[in-house]
Amino acid sequence: MNLEHQVDQLEELSLLGAEKLQALELADQIAMQVDANQRPDLALRLLIRRFLAAPHTPDALAQLATAEAWASAEGETDLATHIQLLWCRHVGLTDRDAVPMSVLNEAVEAAQELSILDAEWRLARAAVQPNEGLRLREEALLHLTSHASAHDRLLVHLELAGDRLRGADIAGSLRHLDMAHQIADEHQDPDFICICSSRIGLHYIERGLSVQAIPYLERALALATSEDDDLRIVIVATLLSTLYLQQDNQTAAAHVADLLLVSGARRANWFAVVDGHITRSSLSLMEGDITAAINRLVRAILRLRELVPGAAINILKGRLAELRHELGSAVFDGHYQEAMKANKDV
Amino acid sequence: MAISQEQRKKLGLPQQEATESQYEKTPSLERIEEGQEIVPEAAERLQPQMGNQAVQALLSRTASTTQTATGTADLELAEEVGEAQDEEKDVSSLDMPDVSFGGGGDGTPVEESPWDVGRLFGGDDDPPPKKPQPKRSRSGRARGPGNTSDLEDPFDDEELDAGHIEHIENTLGETPKMKEEYRSGDARYRAIEVGLQIPHAIGRRQLIPESMVDRTDHLDPLGRATSIGRFMATAATQEDARLLAQTTSGPASILVNPQTGHAGASARLASLTVCIEALEGGSTGTDDAIRLALCRDAWPSALAAAKQTAKTGRVVAPSIVEAAGELSEDNKIHQPILRGSHTDLAKIRLGQLALVEILPTTHLPHIPSIQFSSAPAPPSDDPILAAVDATLAKFTGGINPADLPQQKILSEQAIQPVLNAATELVNAMGKAQVEMAAAAIALARVRPAPPTRSTLKHADTALRDLARTVVKAGDRLHKFRGAPSAAVGDLPIQAVEEMQVAATAFAALRVWAMHAFAEAMLR
């Protein structure tokens, strides 16, 4: 198979799930073989695909700007336009004021004149002009029908969910989140399943439908745990721990509290660790084990002091004061003295 | 006595003519020097000596000092001003007297707006303008918004008996400070910690879901988290950060679970707030921007300092920062902070939005164009209709067609809206001095001695230049009142255009300054 066919094959892969890994491997292989001086077009197509597979690496956007200059110098107008539109879209999604309108208009006009990149120019414009975002993205979806565009289709559904939410169309927002979730599921992409599940969970929480949120958050937690994504674990476990307490599911609450202790410490998010300790302590109190409830907080304070922000220790102290109020000074002080004795060597 | 003359003298604004009668007596070309104003009557009499072109040349000469404000856009303006500053241009040595802001018009400080210059144009035969009366509150409204602790706390009944927390503090000892070398990973995000410094505020009797809605105090354990959530829900660049911030900013009852108490809710919200910052990325830059957004006492501090400096008649940003007791340093790093990094750009954007959050909403006044009264309608071609019109005019006191057409006059009513807008614009420029000082004060409270001095100086110089342009143009326009439009030609329109250009340049200067302050946060 010659290089051109390999690049064609690369462009037919979906950039989701297993196919994404396959695409990245293939891209690495092609990169070793392609002579950028002889075939700049192939090298540029390769760069575009690699960028789409991993757009959030620190240097990705800077590389894109360099690639655009190279494409223009080589007279590869179509590719230069494609790169310009990608740059405008990805920069516009984070900071639309950073996209010069002249650059965007030039790229959109070039795409329209050449009758190419129908979805790309709409998505670039949607990123910079949020008032037109809903219409442009819905139009773009009509052009994203191929197998290879599944990744883009998923992203557009997530963006449309935001557009709908901003327009107070709650049901419409959930519909797009579900569609994105479905695409991620079809391609078995753990990252995007986790993202979509978390967003659907948050969506239900905001609507006050916490019971409906639980299965989505549980799925997100399972995937985040399998991927060792501590940030995602902390976020989802924080929400789940309080939901389980509300549901009186003490076993599950204890499990996620333990996850908070581990992932919180690994990320140095000491408030997550404190949250884990307070949840665990509250569970002990619910079981009637007052000594364990107080002992956990005292041990945490003595072990963590000097290693974590004072604010985190203050929260633990505040919780102890709350327990003293709740249990009464006499009861509390007895258990408290026991806890102090038990931890005197810490 | 003409109030405007006195106040101009005190403010160091361009002086109007000494008295009209003096000019009437001896109008002479030799008497007019660069920067000196010409009353319309005098200009009219001088025309035979030098013609309109000469008047225009004189006006152009005086306007030349303001060219930095015209024809330039955005950053060019600031660069030019910066160059002028580098050359150590002595502003006070300009032909026009130095323009200072504030002082309350007649030299006495105004309680509400220290930048208010009162009446700028005319006023010789007008009653003095009413000064805004200081608001007297029934229950000590003089307290600044920053002193929220002095206000009555609606959550007082939730407070624990102090004995409980004192018992814990006595037995466990005071909380030690975390060593800086341990500040790695998410521990770098410390914006939330400000609200968690006092265990008394964390431990509460009860936790009610309304706590997340009603707590707006950015120093309260829950209030700070919801305040950060509110800011990041709109300002964050990452969609995931925005969505999570949306959840922590609103009344999500599951986050305030009574089973874990107020302290548990504080820990949960603090943890999620740290996650929002981690999702946004940007490390300490993002954290500083968030702390900046919550530095709500900067504006009241700047305002108080401005009132103090207004007594001297110089409400300028560098003096205000100094009066507020904050330090600013020159920018010693000549390398640009942005080296093509999109992450840095996002942090600067967040910083700019943080400044918008803590500063009052700015209204840039629109400078209207002069509306000349229309010329009288010509008589009808139909002799019968013309006769009827003439008869009607005769009996209704209208213009008799037999009379010569009335001279088109530049009426006071036509120019007054422009002069009002010009005064409003000069006031806005004075207010901008306080805003920039507030931005520098906020930065100084987030990180010690930030490199903001150069920006303050450049902005101060540019604002004075722009204010001078507006005042001069306003003076010219004021003197044209009552003058025949044939005599003044395009001069009134040119004066208005100068004001409009100054207004545009002012808007650009403000954007540049806020960007520079946000950038200083990263240096």
Q: What is the pLDDT of residues B454-482, one digit of tens each?
A: 889 999 999 999 999 999 999 998 888 87
**Residue B104 domain-assigned?**
no
Of B220, B209, B363, B231, nearest in space to B290 by CA: B231
Give chain B positions within 8 Å (CB) of A206.
Answer: 246-247, 250, 252
Q: For position B242, what pLDDT does the model report?
A: 93
Decide if A253 touches B, using CB distance below 8 A: no
Interfacial A residues in 174-233 facing B (CB < 8 Å): 195, 198-199, 202, 205-206, 208, 210, 231
Contact state of B193 with A311 under an 8 Å Cβ cutoff: yes
Alpha-carbon distance A200 to nearest alpha carbon in chain B (angstroms): 11
Q: Which residue type is seen at B515?
A: H
**Digit-coded pLDDT (tens) for B175-202:** 888 888 889 999 999 999 998 988 888 8
Distance CA B483, CA B44 (A): 8
**Proportion of chain B above pLDDT 70, given as a percent:** 63
- pTM as predicted: 0.78
Selecting from A234, A243, A319 the residue whose C-beta is nearest the C-beta of B203 gives A319
Per-residue pLDDT tens digits for A227-270: 999 999 999 999 999 999 999 999 999 999 999 999 999 999 99
Angstrom distance (rounded) from CA A8 to CA A10? 5
A58 touches chain B (CB under 8 A): yes
Helices (H), A96-189: 101-114, 118-128, 130-143, 150-166, 170-186
Contact partners, residue B347, CB within 8 Å, separation at least 6: B282, B285, B286, B289, B521, B522
Measure the CA–CA gap between A273 and B198, rounded to whole angstroms: 19
Q: Is residue B230 part of a domain?
A: yes
The confidence score (pLDDT) of residue B335 equals: 56
pLDDT of residue B127: 54
Residues of B in contact with A246 (CB under 8 A): 254, 257, 259
| Coil, strand or helix at B159 | strand
> B-chain residues within 8 Å CB-CB of A307?
178, 182
What is each CA distance from A98 to B59, B414, B519, in whole angstroms?
40, 42, 15
**B201–chain A nearest CA distance, Å:** 8
Closest CA to A280 of A230, A321, A237, A309: A237
Considering the domain boundaries, does residue B184 fall inside one? yes
Does any CB of chain B come closer than 8 Å to the CB of residue A15?
no
Complex-level ipTM: 0.92
* pLDDT reported for residue B407: 66
Q: Which A-chain residues 118-147 have CB contacts (< 8 A) with chain B?
A: none
A289 touching chain B per CB within 8 A: no
Low-confidence ranges of chain B (pLDDT < 70): 1-112, 114-115, 117-157, 209-216, 251, 331-342, 372-376, 398-407
Full domain range(s) for residue B245: 157-293
Contact call for residues A187 and A221 (beta carbons, < 8 A):
no
For residue B163, the model assigns a pLDDT of 85
Q: Is A331 at the interface with chain B, CB within 8 A?
A: no
Residue among A210, A231, A317 whose CB faces B168 most closely: A317
- H-run or E-run covering B275: helix B261-280
Is A286–B175 a contact, with Cβ atoms under 8 angstroms apart? Answer: no
CA distance B523 to B54: 51
In a domain, B51, yes or no: no
Identify the pLDDT of residue B122: 67
B431: nearest Cα among B196, B156, B175, B113: B113
Q: Smallest CA–CA separation between B499 and chain A, in Å?
A: 28
Residue B58, domain member (yes or no):
no
Chain B CB contacts of A93 below 8 Å: 239
DSSP code for B69: G
Residue B169: exposure state from Cβ atoms within 10 A (0-12, 13-18, ≥19) = middle
Give pLDDT < 50 ranges for chain A. none
Cβ contact B77:B508 at 8 Å? yes
State the pLDDT at residue B23: 37
Judged by DSSP in three states, B361 sits in coil
The DSSP code sequence of B284-344 is: HHHHHHHHHHT-TTHHHHHHHHHHHHHTTT---HHHHHHHTT---------S-S-SS-HHH
The count of domains in chain B is 1
SS3 B121: coil
